[in-house]
Amino acid sequence: MSAAAGTDIARDGMADDQKADEDGIRLTPAQLRRRRARSLAIALVLGGLVILFYVVTIVKLGGNVLNRPM
């Protein structure tokens, strides 16, 4: 195992996130806000689906949850 293994410093001496900033696309503040809004919307929809599935499961089980043999 080399000395550089396990670190986030690339061969050129720059951290991976610094290198990505130089080589990648820089988003404008408006684009970053829209990305955050989309991420929040996706999180809310997924959370809503989890709650919906939970409620539907409880409703389908109903009172039979306590009537099963142990």
Residue carrying the six token digits 């142990």: 70
Q: How is the chain split into domains, by residue range?
A: 28-70
Does the pLDDT of residue 19 top 60, yes or no?
Answer: no
Does the pLDDT of residue 4 top 60, yes or no?
Answer: no
pLDDT tens-digit series, residues 53-66: 999 988 888 877 77
Q: Is 18 exposed, middle or buried (0-12, 13-18, 19+ CB in 10 A)?
A: middle
pLDDT tens-digit series, residues 28-49: 999 999 999 999 999 999 999 9
Provide the pLDDT for residue 68. 72
- With a CB cutoff of 8 Å and minimum separation 6, the contacts of 27 are 35
